[in-house]
Amino acid sequence: MQKPRIAPVTDPSPEVAEMLSKTLARDGKPLNIFATVAHNPMVLKQFNRLGGQLLRRSSFGEREREVVILRVGWRCRSVYEFGQHTLIGLASGLSQDDVAALTHEDPGDRWSPRELDFIAAADDLCLHGEVSEPTWDRLAAQLSEAELVELVMLAGFYRLVSGSLRSFGVQLDEGVPGWPAGAEGV
């Protein structure tokens, strides 16, 4: 998409400006995702609450969380989501090769069995709208019910975010990478 369908808010109300002040990019401007959602302040507020919970207070390690988010971003073909979380993933212990591997149908053998199950859950949810029985059985053998809820909500939230970003035509922020070289299907 060449231009946004909904441009980011540029002159927010004081209430919205306060919310956006917590979402600044390196250049001091609000990230495009938040400045776009800011057209509906009530949604922005709740979006930030749930997203913040899943991102900053996760039961999972940062690496596991980013594996799920990056896989969902790729499955949903959201370059914005994938680019933002490439930066977060690299800061969370993923390598450039790890990030690139998440853009391949077969992510390879670089992952732990648990990470492979998390990738399978993201794939199932994005491709079929639910986690398959075999994937669920493997996850249920290692996660509590609270963690199962969180994992599905994490993948589902970022599936929602990815579709919203694409639908709104949100553009990459300055300095955010796009797809890695050799990404499949994008």
Write out the chain's pLDDT in tens, 186 residues: 578 999 999 999 999 999 998 887 777 789 999 999 999 999 999 999 999 999 999 999 999 999 999 999 999 999 999 999 999 999 999 999 999 999 999 998 999 999 999 999 999 999 999 999 999 999 999 999 999 999 999 999 999 999 999 999 999 999 999 999 989 887
Q: Taking each helix axis from N to C terminus, what angle separates 79-91 and 145-168, rounded to the nearest 10 degrees?
A: 130
Domain regions of the chain by residue span? 14-55, 60-168
- In three-state secondary structure terms, 96 is helix
Widest distance between CA atoms in the chain: 50
User: What single-letter DSSP state applies at residue 57?
Assistant: S
Q: What is the pTM of this model?
A: 0.95
Q: Rg (Cα) of the chain, in Å, rounded?
A: 16
Q: Give the pLDDT of residue 25.
A: 73
Q: How far apart are the first and last CA of the chain?
A: 13
**Closest to 65 (Cα-Cα) out of 85, 87, 79, 95:** 85
Q: What is the pLDDT of residue 1?
A: 57
- CA geometry: angle at 59 spanning 68 and 86, to 5°? 35
Which tokens go with 132?
A: 């398959």
Quickly count: other Cβ atoms within 10 Å of residue 172's Cβ. Answer: 14
- Classify domain 60-168 at the CATH topology level: AhpD-like (1.20.1290)
User: What's the pLDDT at 29?
Assistant: 86
